[in-house]
Amino acid sequence: MSSVALPAATSDAASFEGRRLSWPARFNLFYEVIAGGLVELWAHKLRSVLTLTLLMLGVFALVVMTSVLDGVLDKVGTGFAGMSWDGTVVIQPKTPETTDEQKRFAMSPGLRYEDLARLTAPHPAVVAFLPRATKRTSVRVAGGTERMWVTGLTPDYALMMNRPIASGRGLTDDDRRRHSAVAVVGSTLGAKLFGGADPIGRDVLVDGVPFRIVGLQGPVLIFNEEMWLDSNGIMIPLETYMDRMDASHKLNQVAVKLRKRGDLAEVSALVMGRAKQAHHGIEDVEIKDLESEAAKSYAGFMEEMRGWRVVLSSLAATVLLVGGVGVLSVMLISFSDRRFEIGLRKSLGASDGEILVQFLLEACVLAALGASIGTVGGAVLCRALSSKFPWGLVVNPMGLALAWVVAIGLALVFGLYPAIRASRLSPMEAMR
């Protein structure tokens, strides 16, 4: 009997195996597993919500973290580019460090407007010389009196240092020649004083002198002191400033824009030599390489960002890991509750591999559902924060892919033990 039965059993198994491996049968099994997983989630709502919450928060954190860090990098990169410090050196007064230096510096008139004739003599390696003088004073407008910064500049400063004009016009060479009482107001100050109304054509009193506002500076990302002063103050022609704002004719600095970075040493020596000649041989000024300063600041910022990325990634990974433990708990409970179902399926011909795949797919369904909710939440938050970044804020595809891979991978790892236990369960033991 056994010799006759074995071939039949073998034939039936082979036939069943052929059916099991067919693509329609596999698709139907896949659909049933997903549907069964969703039914299990619905049947145990509280347990499922707790598990999904952890997975959702982990994916949400990864999506938002990677997207926001990208947005911050874009914003800071735009801010550093907006400073226009590339190929720029600054000559500025030097602070005396010893008593002897104080005595020597006192014999020099310091960096003054009268030095410009010597300092700014044309040189083939220099694109432009940009003198700057700033003081804080009282400015009276229609709404009252404010203490603010007034800066004297040359017309080409706005172009060379990336200070766009939002409305009206900037300072011109004609304003400089005429010593005109005109002003460009900074974007932040304009919004504060005029409440969003157009300030063009209005008058302000600066130390009792009426100035006509001819331009409004465009918004800038504030990354240094000069940007802050320009955004929160008014800018007037340098000659007008010297005539009406400062009888001592002091300059805060003179920026020098180079044609090539390789000319830095030559131009620095040239400018220092001119300054010493103007100051009776006293070296009371110093050269500051703004491009080098910007590079150091940016390198420091990138190092901080790497640290933040590690910290935030660790937090997100911890949440996902706890979510994986939740998946393990859910699948173990599901295994205990469905022992009879497993035994029935095995008695009807289901193989160990099919049971294993069924449980692993159910774990993946759980993880995918949590990841989907986290993805939607992260995308909504990124959209809400988009206006805070210069180029908007979009979901980082690499961060999204990483979040899904980690979530599904943890579901497979933590779901493997319950799946193996279910696959090795004998039909007799399960249905007992």
The full DSSP string for 58-120 is HHHHHHHHHHHHHHHHHHHHHHHHHTT-TTEEEEEEPPP-SHHHHHHHHTS--SBGGGHHHHT
Nearest to 253 by CA among 21, 87, 94: 94
Q: For residues 287 and 281, give the distance between their C-alpha atoms in angstroms, rounded to a whole number.
A: 16
Q: For residues 75 and 79, give the distance between their C-alpha atoms in angstroms, rounded to a whole number.
A: 6
pLDDT digit of tens for each residue in the chain (432 aa)?
334 443 433 444 444 444 444 677 666 766 766 666 666 666 666 767 777 787 888 888 888 888 888 888 887 877 777 777 888 889 999 888 888 888 888 888 889 999 998 999 999 999 999 999 999 988 887 767 788 899 999 999 988 888 889 999 999 999 999 999 999 999 888 888 877 788 899 988 988 889 999 999 988 776 778 888 888 899 999 999 999 888 889 999 999 999 888 888 888 899 889 988 888 888 888 888 888 888 788 888 888 888 888 888 888 888 888 878 877 877 777 777 777 777 777 777 777 777 787 778 878 888 888 888 888 988 898 888 888 776 777 788 888 888 888 888 888 888 888 888 888 877 777 666
Q: For residues 155 and 68, give the distance between their C-alpha atoms in angstroms, rounded to a whole number.
A: 38
Crossing angle of helices 397-423 and 45-82, rounded to 10°: 160
Nearest to 112 by CA among 139, 152, 149: 152
**Domain extents in the chain:** 14-79+297-430, 95-283
